[in-house]
């Protein structure tokens, strides 16, 4: 029997589940087979107004008076509630996004970890003192920004709920969340759990709907004090311009074209499985996907042959089959990725390896074969444009300086991997890469909850995750006391 959910097509505002002003709903489509699995509310500007007003009341009222210790306890309780409902949330996430169940389960565990981490950190963000003139005491205190808006993508809904709300709530902000319309059923359930564990009314407000309606209304709202957005650079530019009209600061995470640099002294037995996994995870629909592999020319043929064998072994299928790779999120995204592959073939870019689509895959699902291509010229779109699908391009390099030049040669700068057994090279290259995170002999790490995350250049600015996020969601206030 096809999976369906009875989660209500309602918004959550001021502690109540309410119908959107338009009473309209958006159908949620399972990417594995194209059938409708539920509905969400089609919120708009009027709903955003109500949510922002509720958040302001909470910030100036009960939630604003809640101590850091109590905020931490509430977030820790939410983490435990998530673990207690792990399988239900994983099923929602897998059906809604198409990702394999094993990945959805890992995502739910990571979501719980966000609240565990920020629950423990809530009372540990300290201020400072500054030596000043005789007779003065100067203190720096960190205060919440106030009402924070959060616009998040469809690729990791549950994790993004924890990543963006965890730090904001830990520091005492009241929040308004607008998730992506393509996938947010797990977020509706997580919001229910937040209410069940006692997070006060107005601290979390959820408005679902289309980006050009609810999202645009939130980004341009004069009543918010800070905005977090994760998504495409094009939409990020619009978001930042809207926020600028009200002098609202932003943290933006806008994607990447992340390289993995494989030097001739790399341990290939360790490197190559990670290189493949970094592009097939979530069907390549990951901002930090390792979509470029740069290989030193002296080992190029050896590495390409081994990567091809691994790519050919990748199995693609519906989420419930729990294979290596699931479908893309939507028909639109499927068409976009296939467009890149078709243009590459017309341009004569060699296909080195392809995964296979499992016989259990529905013809109505949005499946694409994971594909390895190369060598790819630096002038080709595959070398510098984000595909956001399971497409890995191979680019040869001559030496260390050549590798760094190529790695830094796109408009993005989110994450990179360096594979080498030479300790001096590891540090030299890591310091020269213009990215927000560098992994040496690894790539990605268990959700990276503790690790500050964000980019350079077109990948955005500001940082989420880790302790840095607590600083993003607070402002420094200087208090100068003349005690004589």
Q: Is the pLDDT assigned to residue 311 strictly greater than 70?
A: yes
Q: Report if residue 4 sits inside a domain.
A: no
Q: Specify whether 300 is located in the same domain as 213.
A: no
Q: How far apart are CA 106 and CA 91, in angstroms?
A: 12
Q: Report if residue 453 sits inside a domain.
A: no
Q: Report if residue 19 sits inside a domain.
A: yes
How many structural domains are present in the chain?
A: 2
Q: How far apart are CA 105 and CA 280, in angstroms?
A: 17
Q: How far apart are CA 54 and CA 42, in angstroms?
A: 19
Q: What is the pTM of this model?
A: 0.96
Q: Please, is 22 exposed, middle or buried when counting C-beta atoms within 10 Å of its C-beta (0-12, 13-18, 19+)?
A: middle
Interval 288-316 mean pLDDT = 98
Interval 162-182 mean pLDDT = 98
Among 70, 198, 174, 60, which residue's Cα sits nearest to residue 123? 70
Q: Specify whether 248 is located in the same domain as 270.
A: no
For residue 6, what pLDDT band results from cuts at 50, 70 and 90?
A: confident
Type and span of the H or E element at 226: strand 226-230
Q: Report if residue 455 sits inside a domain.
A: no
- Where among 206, 221, 254 does a domain terminate? 254
CB 81 within 8 A of CB 115: no
Q: Specify whether 237 is located in the same domain as 287.
A: no
Cα-Cα-Cα-Cα dihedral sign, residues 167, 191, 323, 327: negative
Is the peptide bond prior to 375 cis by the omega test (within 30 degrees of 0)? yes
Q: Report if residue 90 sits inside a domain.
A: yes
User: pLDDT of 60-99, one tens digit each?
Assistant: 999 999 999 999 999 999 999 999 999 999 999 999 999 9
Q: Report if residue 216 sits inside a domain.
A: yes
Q: Is the pLDDT assigned to residue 1 strictly greater than 60?
A: no
- Where among 254, 274, 295 does a domain terminate? 254
Q: What is the mean pLDDT of the chain?
A: 96
Q: Specify whether 296 is located in the same domain as 244.
A: no
User: pLDDT of 110-165, one tens digit each?
Assistant: 999 999 999 999 999 999 999 999 999 999 999 999 999 999 999 999 999 999 99
Q: Specify whether 233 is located in the same domain as 304.
A: no
Q: Specify whether 182 is located in the same domain as 140.
A: yes
Q: Specify whether 348 is located in the same domain as 431.
A: yes
Q: Report if residue 483 sits inside a domain.
A: no
Q: Specify whether 292 is located in the same domain as 244.
A: no
Query: What is the number of alpha carbons within 13 Å of residue 51 lying toward its C-beta?
Result: 33
Q: How far apart are CA 462 and CA 415, in angstroms?
A: 14
Kindly report the CATH number assigned to the domain that includes residue 169: 3.40.605.10
Q: Specify whether 46 is located in the same domain as 103.
A: yes
Q: Specify whether 266 is located in the same domain as 244.
A: no
Which residues are known catalytic residues? 253
Kindly report the CATH number assigned to the domain that includes residue 352: 3.40.309.10
Length of the chain counted residue by residue: 484
Q: Specify whether 178 is located in the same domain as 278.
A: no
Q: How far apart are CA 52 and CA 39, in angstroms?
A: 23
Domain that holds residue 50: 11-254
Q: Report if residue 22 sits inside a domain.
A: yes
Q: Specify whether 325 is located in the same domain as 270.
A: yes
Q: Please, is 353 exposed, middle or buried when counting C-beta atoms within 10 Å of its C-beta (0-12, 13-18, 19+)?
A: buried
């Amino acid at each position: 029997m096809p999976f369906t959910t009875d989660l209500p097509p309602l918004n959550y505002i001021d502690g109540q589940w309410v119908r959107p002003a338009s009473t309209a709903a958006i159908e949620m489509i399972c990417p594995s087979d194209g059938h409708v699995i539920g509905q969400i509310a089609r919120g708009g500007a009027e709903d955003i107004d109500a949510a922002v007003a509720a958040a302001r009341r909470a910030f100036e009222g009960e939630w604003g008076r809640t101590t850091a210790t109590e905020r931490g306890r509430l977030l820790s309780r939410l983490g435990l509630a998530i673990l207690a409902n792990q399988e239900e949330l994983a099923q929602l996430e897998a059906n809604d996004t198409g990702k394999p169940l094993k990945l959805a389960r890992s995502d739910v565990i990571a979501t719980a970890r966000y609240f565990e981490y920020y629950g423990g950190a809530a009372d540990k963000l300290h201020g400072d003192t500054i030596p000043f003139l005789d007779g003065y005491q100067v203190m720096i205190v960190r205060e919440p920004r106030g009402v924070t808006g959060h616009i998040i993508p469809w690729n990791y809904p549950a994790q993004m709920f924890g990543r963006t709300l965890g730090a904001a709530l830990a520091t005492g902000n009241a929040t308004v969340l607008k998730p992506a319309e393509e996938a947010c059923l797990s977020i509706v359930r997580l919001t229910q759990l937040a209410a069940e564990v006692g997070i006060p009314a107005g601290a979390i407000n959820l408005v679902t709907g289309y980006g050009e309606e609810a999202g645009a209304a939130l980004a341009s709202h004069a009543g918010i004090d800070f905005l977090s957005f994760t998504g495409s650079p094009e939409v990020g530019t619009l978001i930042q311009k809207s926020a600028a009209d009200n002098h609202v600061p932003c943290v933006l995470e806008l994607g990447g074209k992340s390289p993995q640099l494989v030097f001739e002294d790399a341990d290939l037995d360790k490197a190559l499985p990670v290189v493949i996994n970094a592009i097939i995870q979530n069907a390549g629909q990951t901002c930090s996907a390792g979509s470029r592999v740069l290989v030193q020319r002296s080992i190029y043929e050896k590495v390409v042959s081994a990567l091809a064998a691994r790519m050919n072994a990748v199995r693609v299928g519906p989420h419930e089959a729990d294979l290596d790779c699931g479908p893309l999120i939507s028909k639109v995204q499927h068409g976009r990725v296939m467009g890149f592959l078709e243009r590459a073939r017309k341009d004569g870019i060699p296909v080195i390896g392809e995964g296979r689509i499992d016989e259990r895959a529905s013809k109505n699902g949005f499946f694409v074969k994971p594909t390895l291509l190369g060598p790819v010229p630096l002038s080709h779109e595959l070398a510098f444009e984000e595909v956001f699908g399971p497409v890995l391009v191979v680019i040869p390099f001559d030496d260390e300086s050549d590798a760094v030049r190529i790695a830094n040669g796109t408009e993005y700068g989110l994450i990179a991997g360096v594979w080498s057994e030479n300790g001096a090279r590891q540090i030299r290259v890591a310091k020269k890469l213009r990215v927000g995170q560098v992994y040496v002999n690894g790539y990605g790490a268990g959700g990276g909850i503790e690790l500050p995350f964000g980019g350079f250049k077109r990948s955005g600015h500001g940082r989420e995750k880790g302790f840095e996020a607590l600083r993003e969601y607070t402002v420094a206030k200087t208090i100068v006391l003349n005690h004589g």
